[in-house]
Amino acid sequence: MKNILKRLNEKIDDLVVVKQRDDLYFIKVKREHTDFILRYLKLDENFKHLDFMQAVDYIENNQFQLTYMLYNYEIKINLGINVMIDREKAEMDSMHRIWPHLWQYQREIHEMYGINFPGSPRVDESFVLEGWEEMPPMRRDFDTLEYSKRTFYPRPGRSTNDPKEYMKEKLYHDFAKSPKIRRDDE
């Protein structure tokens, strides 16, 4: 893996690498380098498999983070490519020419986060939300509780308990006190 990163560093400057586990690395790249790096990793470094593509809303930094998770079958290492894009003008180049099945992920992200992928096939079709009219629901400034109350007729009389306390009190009252069985964490 070190060699791969070394070779990658020669191609692109200021590469940020985070090692999560022995078999899981993340690198942060700029938007304009993404296409080149993905092609390079797929064709030259044998990262042939795209596990998934996902978006995260960093509303504090006013940014979206897109993650392309790649896998190499030979050295058995997962490599995540993180790309930060602007939140106001949410747009990303479509990568469906590298992995054709990316169009489905891009369609989902387009629907859930409102990130546009120009040129991606069928990106405007609805994926899960049919006929959605509000702001894309996975953006963090979307208030799901308020929307749910407004739309779905909440049934009155709903109460919530802290699960740990409640279970202790209700079910495992005798169990916790029992001298024979003592759990280590108590």
Partner 1 sequence: MEKKDLNEIEKEMKLANEGLPEKERILFSDARPSRVEPLNKYLEQFVNWARARSLWLLAFGTGCGATELRPLMTSRFDVSRFGIAGRPTPRQASVFIIGGYASIKTIKRIVRSYEQMQGPKYVIALGSCTINGGMYYDSYNTINRIDYYIPVDTYIAGCMPRPEALIAGFNRLKEKIQKGECDGMNKYADNFDWYKKNQKQIIKDWNMPDYNW
State the residues that interact with partner 1 by CB under 8 A: 126, 128-134, 137, 142, 144-145, 147-148, 151-155, 158
| Residue 71 vs 127, nearer CB to partner 1 | 127
| Residue 35 vs 108, nearer CB to partner 1 | 108
The answer to whether 98 touches 124, Cβ cutoff 8 Å, is: no
CB of 104 to partner 1, least distance (A): 16
| Residue 40 vs 142, nearer CB to partner 1 | 142
Of 57, 86, 84, give the one whose Cα is nearest residue 68.
84
CB of 138 to partner 1, least distance (A): 9
DSSP structural state of residue 31: G
The answer to whether 137 touches 111, Cβ cutoff 8 Å, is: no
| Residue 162 vs 186, nearer CB to partner 1 | 162
CB of 161 to partner 1, least distance (A): 13
Amino acid (one-letter) located at 167: M
